[in-house]
Amino acid sequence: QVQLVESGGGLVQAGGSLRLSCAASGRTSAIVRIAWFRQAPGKERERVAAMTWTGELRSYADSVKGRFAISADNAKKTIYLQMNNLKPDDTAVYFCAARRSVIGNYESWGQGTQVTVSS
């Protein structure tokens, strides 16, 4: 079992930056792929960024390409999402997730952290 705890959310003006962190614990050696998702009120959950636990095969939603970057510090067992040039449309609850397989569903989820971007 893997436990995930996000932090770093908050209120920021449009054009600003935030870095989200996700601390992993438990059976982290079993993690194959990690991702950040977000969900805004009244909208479906959207996968924002993903990569392997070792930093390969990065992918991003079109809406955040060039502005967001996913990374991980394996020694600290922490996943990051650097968000630059934030827009009001980025306002959402952000979740980190992990899975133990190359394909399939993400089994482990954090509790989420709120990001609010004011115009």
pLDDT at 108: 97
Confidence of residue 16 (pLDDT cuts 50, 70, 90): very high
Residues 49-92 have pLDDT tens digits of 999 998 889 999 999 999 999 999 999 999 999 999 999 999 99
Report strand pairing: 46-52 vs 33-39. antiparallel
pLDDT at 119: 94
d(CA 102, CA 47): 16
Which of 113, 111, 109 minimizes the C-alpha distance to 92?
Answer: 113
> Would you say 39 and 114 are in contact if contact means Cβ atoms under 8 Å apart?
no
Residues 80-116 have pLDDT tens digits of 999 999 999 999 999 999 999 988 899 999 999 999 9
What is the rounded radius of gyration, in angstroms, for the C-alpha atoms of the chain?
A: 13
d(CA 87, CA 67): 10
